[in-house]
Structure 1
């Protein structure tokens, strides 16, 4: 790459490239197979973006660089903030203590297990492990891309983490309804909904798995899942404080001295606090329902643009270089979510 595209034209070109990928993802999402598989617009956006990013996009990448940075930066943070319009305080309180307990326990245990397995056993690179832990324990790809600015993680590492949560979260769409049908766990429909919401990766995957059983399970599963989403803000703050004490990971491409220079620096994820503020504001019901629906739809498109930009700037060579370890770590964490998530519900029901 000779130089990086800058200025208004480069930003416009990047936005146009991202918009084309999102449009393709939207069209693909309207197909019957995508709906049955539970593929969300965000998932399709990054998959199509990665395909384009490794075929046609490299020819124009230099001219689009500024637009890519804009989509992965300001647009992403705005999308995370507007995500608060999907929640109200009443929804959070209505699901009961069992959902809070299950979400908190699964989030903490899954993140800590991911870190221990990835760092101590598999000896993986720290940023990738932390991103995978965030995605597996909170809300899939959305948590990965929200955590990336706090870690100052590169696009390649983010893509590896997103790939694992998409793969294993999609497997959960098919597994959980079968476990319900086969009565693997002695749980009521309500308890099974909490089980899905507290252990499946993505919001869209929770919806798909719950609806494959019945509407009641789906409603409880989605509400439980949204509590996990709400926990993203305090998680990012705690992660930032922890990194500040230990020394923040160096930006991609820097080693050794880069980590020393970042030591003691706390990156405040201010957009996470705005996310909570938006949720509390939404709880007041001051805006017409149609406005809130429009804001939620706009937020979906903003996040889709961020995912598409991430896909376009990711190279398969980086994922190949990551090797089998991320897939193995993702599999082990998926087994933990399925097994321990069900056991937690059994114990809470006792």
Structure 2
């Protein structure tokens, strides 16, 4: 009679079940995130969603939320490790590779006016978010900072990049991203409508390039900027995208300054602190700048850069899907209307204040 095979003792855990290598535990979650990303990629190519300016990142988190509140609870025991890995490590890898979308030459393309407008809009929008969110709406600081980052820089990508710095929960991130989706989508319809009305009534003298700067410096998502600029001609679209990418480039210094600020606040609030607490440096933000600098030298062939950008989109979409899977709709409901109202007021500032700042800077430098 043949002897039955026994499992070596070192492959058994404390419960007597077969021990699985930690890396193997990641695969189910990675596969689930990849499936959702593939579906989101397909949907993002549909003409209707393209016209709405919904990027693959936005669709990925929406699909993640749907699956996360229906099927995922039963899949969590086998997929949880991979989803957490995706949400943390693939996110950081995606932000680092995001630098390949940028070059420092883009800064020169919009000139001093474009840079000043972007700096003023970013800083003013974020500080207004802090003031309104904390003083007026009494919203928790993490949610306020996430909404402020999403509105002032580059939408969902900025929110995802800010999450590790402020150490926010998935539910708060989802709330912040929902505000970007709502008002960024509204911008796709309002901005072209305003541009056509302005041509008819001649409220403000606006060239295509000036409208492109206005759009790029005030609209939330890159995809939404492309959708708006495309309706007004090539000059408006090109300028809008470049202006927007400069805002994206400001993400890294923003994260470094925010991290330094939070570290200082933590030191002051520490009763038993015997010295300054160390600054938590978001290293992925440093590498983001390094990648942008490297890409500025054009050392890699364009097809390779395009492939890197495609991989980056996949990584970020998988991270968004993972975020959605761990988001509870009940928590979004509990957040109430205050985050939406905050984002609405920021949207008004981006349009009205952005218009005033754009026209003022052009007037000063003309």
User: When the two structures are superposed, what TM-score results if normalisation uses the length of structure 2?
Assistant: 0.89
What per-residue deviation string (whole Å, max 9, x for no partner) do you get for residues 43-76 of structure 1? 1101111111111111111211111111111111
CA shift digits 1:206-232 (9 cap, x unpaired):
111110211210100000000000000
TM-fit CA distance, 1:6 = 9.0
Deviations 1:10-37 (A, max 9, x none): 3111011111111111121121211111
Q: Is the CA contact (8 Å cut-off) linking 1:134 and 1:144 kept in structure 2? A: yes
Moved more, 212-221 or 100-109: 212-221
1:55 corresponds in structure 2 to 70
> Does residue 93 in structure 1 map to residue 108 in structure 2?
yes
Picking from 162, 174, 178, the partner of 1:159 is 174
Q: Is 1:137 matched up with 2:152?
A: yes
Return the index of the structure with the highest Cα Rg.
2
The change in CA–CA distance for 1:245 and 1:6 in structure 2 (over 3 A counts) is farther
5+ long unaligned stretches in structure 1: 249-255
Matching residue of 1:240: 259
Equivalent residue in structure 1 for 2:42, among 13, 17, 27? 27
Match of 1:310 in 2: 323
Q: Distance in 1 between matches of 2:39 and 2:322?
A: 13
Q: Give the aligned partner of residue 190 of structure 1.
A: 209
Residue 7 of structure 1, CA deviation? 2.8
Are 1:172 and 2:191 an aligned pair?
Answer: no
178-187 or 44-53, larger mean C-alpha shift? 178-187
Query: Which whole-Å CA distance do the structure 1 matches of 2:131 and 2:270 have between them?
Result: 25
> How far off is 1:143 after superposition?
0.3
- Distance across 2 between alignment mates of 1:27 and 1:46: 14
What's the counterpart of residue 296 of structure 1? 309
Matched residue, 1:251? none
The corresponding residue for 1:283 is 296
Which residue of the other structure, out of 242, 247, 264, is the alignment partner of 1:223? 242
Which sits farther off after the overlay, 23-32 or 202-211? 23-32
Q: C-alpha separation between the residues in 1 aligned to 2:99 and 2:123?
A: 22
- 4+ long deviations beyond 2 Å: 5-10, 263-266
C-alpha displacement of 1:95: 1.1
Alpha-carbon distance in 2 for matches of 1:6, 1:160: 35
Q: What stretches of structure 2 of length at least 5 have no aligned partner? A: 1-19
**Does structure 2 retain, via aligned residues, the 8 Å contact 1:186–1:346?**
no
Counterpart residue number, 1:344: 357
- The CA distance in 1 between the partners of 2:66 and 2:195, in whole Å, is 35
Cα shift at 1:188: 1.2
Displacement after TM superposition at 1:265 (Å): 4.5
Question: 1:252 is matched with which residue?
Answer: none
Provide the rounded CA distance (Å) in 1 between the counterparts of 2:170 and 2:279: 21
1:181 match: 196
Structure 2 Cα separation of the partners of residues 284 and 134 of structure 1: 29
SS of match in other structure, 1:95: helix
Distance in structure 2 (CA, Å) of the matches to 1:153 and 1:63: 24
TM normalised by structure 1 equals: 0.93
- Cα deviation, 1:299-342, whole Å, max 9, x if unaligned, reads 11111011111011101001001001001101010000011011
How far 1:152 moved relative to its partner? Answer: 1.1
Preserved contact between residue 148 and residue 158 of structure 1 (Cα < 8 Å): yes
RMSD over aligned Cα, in angstroms?
A: 2.1
Aligned length: 339
